[in-house]
Structure 1
Amino acid sequence: MKKLFLIIIILAFGTFIFSESKEELLDKIEKRFSSIKEFSATFNQKVAPVIGEAQFFEGTIDILRPHNLRMEIIAPEKQLILYNGETAWVYLPEQKYCLKYSCGKENSLSKIPRYIFEPFNNLIVDTLYSDTSFIFIKLSMKEDEEFFQCIELKVSKDKMLLLSLTFKDKTGNKTEYNFSEIEVNSKKKINFTFTPPDGIEIIEK
């Protein structure tokens, strides 16, 4: 009976230690993310729909607080994606047209800067665990929304930098970004504005 009681105490104490270290780890990640004003990287993107084949993209991404986003996709087809907090553009030079989104309507592009810089302000942490090199975090929405159901982050344990970001929607579709060659707070000049070239069809959404 004494042995059983001792085991229960050890297990309870062990659970407390784990919870405390988990909170400390989350606090470190939050502080690191809040210190980042600029985020630049190369990326590979995988879009995996519930029905149909997965699509793959690669390119570069630049994000500036609070909401500026620039993505240049180089494969399989060139695309330029820009978001400045007011307007979102998706330009397809080979197709000679661009899409223009009014930010009076929220779109999935407007979510990316928010979830990279401040995911914990907008989401609820469901699970957090780590191994020797990485920290894995699953978050869900505080309120029901039309775009995503949950988000998964993979963070490097040494530099506390975001290495991958995965979005899952309510129907099971998944979009995954994997980042490499990451630079933060580099203060490089990035153009977040877009002027459509002459002769380009503009489709407003």
Structure 2
Amino acid sequence: MTFLTKQANSTKQTMTLKQKLMSGVLTGALVSTLGVAAPMIALTQSATAAPADSLVAAKRLNKLLTNTKSMTANFSQTTKGASSGTFTGTMSVQRPNNFRWETKSPSEQIIVANGNSMWIYDKDLEQATKQAVDTQVGNTPALLLSGDPSKIDKNFRVTQPYSSKNYYVLYPKSGDASFKNLSVSFSGGKPVMMVLNDSLGQTTSIKFSNIKLNPSINSSQFKFTPPAGVDVINQ
């Protein structure tokens, strides 16, 4: 987030920085965050419900994610903490490793990843940043829904607080991960909510709506060509 090179008014810069902070929770390339707060769908469960053991939880989550070969949805993303704010837009993922996250309000930003590279385009700043990305799930939460499900158990400790509910909490095994954990809830086999918490104490809730599971997605959705006249930065 030190790659802002154009002059902009302070309000626009503040909004852009907040947006990059929140976009980063999904890309793992900016300020990655993952959640300790339980999604609302899980808070209604009985406190006496027994949790599943780690191996069973990992297998169940793997099955759910394996069944999600592609997905499109609208999202509402809210962060509480030093960079509070709410953003809405659309997203699409397709295995292996294709990802698109498009923020439409209150400002516009597009993140496109295809397994080898990731583009972050900020329309207000007329700036596009290209970064290399890891093709494995690893420490990149953005690829949780588009990467290889078989890698999850290798990179995360998976818990299922309520064995009868499709709500999971993932803790990164890597000691240098920039997040604490990720909570994800499923309903009808679809991921409907993620709650993330970063090492700075910020909590980000992402709610998905108008979810379409395993649709056919045009490959052009995962390609990006910078518009003419924008600054292009390679990282």
Contact 1:66 1:113 in 2 (8 A): no
As a proportion of its length, which structure holds more strand? 1
Q: Which residue of 2 aligns with 1:161?
A: 190
Amino acid at match of 1:55: G
- Aligned CA-pair RMSD: 3.3
Q: Could you tell me how far 1:115 is from its partner in structure 2?
A: 5.2
In structure 1, stretches of 5+ residues that fail to align are 1-16
Is 1:123 aligned to residue 152 of structure 2?
Answer: no
SS at match of 1:85: coil
Q: Which residue of 1 aligns with 2:80?
A: 48
Amino acid at match of 1:123: F
Go from structure 1 to structure 2 and tell me whether the alpha carbon gap of 1:29 and 1:114 turns closer, same or farther (over 3 Å shift): closer
In structure 2, stretches of 5+ residues that fail to align are 1-48
**Separation in 2, partners of 1:97, 1:106:** 27
Q: Could you tell me how far 1:20 is from its partner in structure 2?
A: 7.0
Go from structure 1 to structure 2 and tell me whether the alpha carbon gap of 1:22 and 1:202 turns closer, same or farther (over 3 Å shift): closer
- Structure having greater relative contact order (Cα 8 Å, sep ≥ 6): 2
Contact 2:92 2:101 in 1 (8 A): yes
Amino acid at match of 1:125: V
Is 1:76 aligned to residue 109 of structure 2?
Answer: no
Amino acid at match of 1:33: L
Q: Could you tell me how far 1:202 is from its partner in structure 2?
A: 1.2
Q: Deviations over 1:12-51 (max 9, x none)?
A: xxxxx956799877755432321221011100111223xx
Q: How many residues are aligned here?
A: 183
Instruction: Report sequence identity in percent.
Output: 23
**Separation in 2, partners of 1:153, 1:143:** 19
Q: Which residue of 1 aligns with 2:175?
A: 144
Go from structure 1 to structure 2 and tell me whether the alpha carbon gap of 1:109 and 1:21 turns closer, same or farther (over 3 Å shift): closer
Contact 2:57 2:158 in 1 (8 A): no
Is 1:171 aligned to residue 200 of structure 2?
Answer: yes
SS at match of 2:75: strand
Go from structure 1 to structure 2 and tell me whether the alpha carbon gap of 1:173 and 1:60 turns closer, same or farther (over 3 Å shift): same
**Separation in 2, partners of 1:21, 1:88:** 35
Go from structure 1 to structure 2 and tell me whether the alpha carbon gap of 1:163 and 1:19 turns closer, same or farther (over 3 Å shift): closer
SS at match of 1:149: strand
**Separation in 2, partners of 1:107, 1:20:** 23
Is 1:182 aligned to residue 221 of structure 2?
Answer: no
User: TM-score, structure 1 length as denominator?
Assistant: 0.74
Larger radius of gyration: 1
SS at match of 1:114: helix
**Separation in 2, partners of 1:104, 1:28:** 24
Go from structure 1 to structure 2 and tell me whether the alpha carbon gap of 1:174 and 1:116 turns closer, same or farther (over 3 Å shift): farther
SS at match of 1:171: coil
Amino acid at match of 2:103: I
Choose the corresponding residue for 1:101, options 113, 131, 148: 131
Q: Which residue of 2 aligns with 1:33?
A: 65
Query: What does residue range 11-22 of structure 1 map to in structure 2 within 5 Å?
Result: 18=50
Amino acid at match of 1:136: Y
User: TM-score, structure 2 length as denominator?
Assistant: 0.66
**Separation in 2, partners of 1:108, 1:188:** 25
Go from structure 1 to structure 2 and tell me whether the alpha carbon gap of 1:199 and 1:128 turns closer, same or farther (over 3 Å shift): same
Contact 1:29 1:160 in 2 (8 A): no
